[in-house]
Structure formats: structure tokens, C-alpha cells
Amino acid sequence: MKNLLFLFSFISALTFGQETKYAETDLNISKWIDGSLVVPNTGADQLVIIIAGSGPTDRNGNQNFLKTNNLKKLAQELALNGIASFRYDKRIVKQIKMKAVNPNIKFDDFVSDAITVVNYFKTQQEFKHLYIIGHSQGSLIGMLAAQEGVDGFISLAGAGQSIDAVIVEQVQKTAPMFTEDTKRAFEVLKSGRTTTDYPPALASIFDSSVQEFMMSWMRYDPAVVIKSLDIPILLINGTKDLQVSTAEAELLHNASKQAELKLIDHMNHVLFIITGDDQENAKSYNDPNGKIAEALVTSIVDFIKN
């Protein structure tokens, strides 16, 4: 009997010790926007809106076969530091779940969703200060949404060039024999026309199903957009990022007098610390047990709190 009482006391103490210090609530904001609101139990004056990167990325930062929960972990860490957050599934995620994918979806649809989220929380007036964190593609989306009036903007692994320029650079590095084909195809898209004049090897970039989306995306130059923001800006990039180099963050930094630049040693694109080679880096894209960089959390908290 004493052993049972001891075991019960131990389990109770363990449960109490692991009691969460924040509450997470599902929130539906519009037809296409479902997300999670995380609020510290002690309350919060600041709310961060977290915008995910490219592809069918959900609120936690995951896609099929790419599961890190990095955005969920970021939200949890912010809550532990007294900062509330809202992260949401990209509209394409909900469309996939509903089996109603819109083939005519545009980049501007993602911007519209982000603006809807900003205006929702401004109307609610539950939080005194609103911030936006945009990861990868979400950086440009966040810049555009921040023009609606927020207190600060944070770019995580955001490009400093338009998407066509970024892709041309990537092709030059990985498949230089296709550089001129890539440039030629983009010139056609810039004119507002679609094209079939590209090698099969470039189909993932120029397939007819994505050309309209690409055209709507490449209209925006992040280095130009960021100049329009007259708010505090924090630019964060990892030195182990295989997708977005630190040079991209430096382009944004040079374009904005408001921006502070923070380069985090060994952090990769999914916000994990990588001490090994590119193989370790690639494996981390499907590591749900990975830990986001402590320096990332510290940098964001310091920016918001100070």
C-alpha cells in the first residue's frame, strides 16, 4: 500500500511539474485560414503572427515527408518567454484537405490571407502590439502584410531578390548548362505570357500548372518592398542554410535603414543547428525531434521585448 501511495504521489508530482505554461487554441479566421493561437498563462501584450514558407506548408512548418514541427516549436518557445503567437495553415493545405485545390491560386492569395490575419487581430484588440514573422517565402508575404500596420517585422531566411533571380542563381550553381534556358523562360513570364520553351529538366519550375503563380510571385522584389516599411525590422539567417544564403539577408539589410541583421552560426533553413555536413543538413528536414536554435529564440525575444 505504501508503495502504491508513493507511486501515486510521484506521478502526481511529475504531472504537476510538466504542466504547460501556455494555452493553445484552434482558431478559424476565414474560409481559408485555420490556425493555432498560443497564449502564455500569464497573458501577453505582444502577439506574433507566424507565416510559413513555400509549398503546402501547415501551421507547424510541415509538409508531406518533411516534418520538423519547427514553427510549432518556435511558437512554444515564444510562449515560454511571455509572447503570444498565431500560426496558420496555408490556404493550399486546407484546399488539399477539402479536395478542392484551386489551380488558379496566386501568390497574392497568400498575401491576402496574411493581411486578413493582421486585420483580424487589430480588430480584436486583445493584444497591444502585433509583429509578423515570415519564414522563407513567408518573409516576402510578411513584408507585404506588414504594410497594413504592425509594430515590427522579422524575416527568417527570406530572399533579398525576386524569385526569378533567386532561381537563376540556384540553377547557375547546381545545373549551369540550363542557365540560359532558365533566363529565357523567365523573360517570357515577365512579359505576362506563358511558355513551353524550356527543357524537361526544368519542368518543376516551369510546368504550365505553376507559371501563373510564378508570374504573380516574381512581380515583387523584396529589396524594394522592405524599403516601404517604416517599422523596426529584424533579419535572421543561418550560416548553414542550403536554400537561402546569408547574402540574401545582406541584400535586405542594405536595402533598409530600419533593419537589424542577425546571422546565426550553423543554423539551417529549418532553424536547426547543424554541426556536420550537407547530408546531416538534408536529414534534418524530416526530423520531428530536432531542436530550434536557442540563438534564434533569444534574438526574436530581445527584438520584441526591447
Which of 219, 241, 266 is at the close of a domain?
219
Question: Tell me, what's the pLDDT at 20?
Answer: 84
Please indicate, yes or no, whether residues 250 and 146 belong to a single structural domain of this protein. yes
Question: Tell me, what's the pLDDT at 4?
Answer: 44
Which is nearest to 128 in space by CA: 47, 234, 29, 22? 47
Question: Is residue 211 in some structural domain?
Answer: yes
Give the number of other CB atoms < 10 A from CB of residue 180.
Answer: 11
Rounded to the nearest integer, the mean pLDDT of the chain is: 93
Range 168-181 average pLDDT: 94
pLDDT tens-digit series, residues 191-221: 999 999 999 999 999 999 999 999 999 999 9
Which of 177, 199, 219 is at the close of a domain?
219
Question: Is residue 10 in some structural domain?
Answer: no
Question: Tell me, what's the pLDDT at 11?
Answer: 42
Question: Is residue 182 in some structural domain?
Answer: yes
Range 32-60 average pLDDT: 96
Please indicate, yes or no, whether residues 292 and 150 belong to a single structural domain of this protein. yes
Question: Tell me, what's the pLDDT at 65?
Answer: 86
CA distance 76 to 19: 13
Please indicate, yes or no, whether residues 152 and 228 belong to a single structural domain of this protein. yes
Please indicate, yes or no, whether residues 257 and 288 belong to a single structural domain of this protein. yes
Q: Which residue has the higher pLDDT, 257 or 301?
A: 301
CATH code, domain with 111: 3.40.50.1820
Please indicate, yes or no, whether residues 73 and 111 belong to a single structural domain of this protein. yes
What are φ and ψ of residue 130, in 5° steps? Answer: -115, 135
Range 10-39 average pLDDT: 79
Q: Which three cell numbers stand for residue 20?
A: 504547460
Please indicate, yes or no, whether residues 268 and 236 belong to a single structural domain of this protein. yes
Range 96-102 average pLDDT: 89
Please indicate, yes or no, whether residues 169 and 234 belong to a single structural domain of this protein. no
Q: Which domain holds residue 205?
A: 163-219
The domain total for the chain is: 2
Spacing of C-alpha 37 from chain mean position = 16
Question: Tell me, what's the pLDDT at 15?
Answer: 41
CA distance 103 to 187: 23
Please state which of the ranges 97-101, 184-188, 291-295, 298-302 shows the lowest mean pLDDT.
97-101
Please indicate, yes or no, whether residues 90 and 225 belong to a single structural domain of this protein. yes
Please indicate, yes or no, whether residues 250 and 170 belong to a single structural domain of this protein. no
CA distance 12 to 23: 20
Range 249-253 average pLDDT: 97
- 45 has pLDDT over 60: yes
pLDDT classification of 103: cutoffs 50, 70, 90: confident
Question: Tell me, what's the pLDDT at 133?
Answer: 98
Range 47-74 average pLDDT: 96
Strands, E assignment, the chain: 22-28, 34-40, 46-51, 84-88, 129-135, 152-156, 233-238, 259-264
Question: Tell me, what's the pLDDT at 19?
Answer: 67
What are φ and ψ of residue 237, in 5° steps? Answer: -145, 150
Question: Is residue 15 in some structural domain?
Answer: no
Q: Which residue has the higher pLDDT, 193 or 100?
A: 193
**pTM score:** 0.91
Please indicate, yes or no, whether residues 206 and 248 belong to a single structural domain of this protein. no
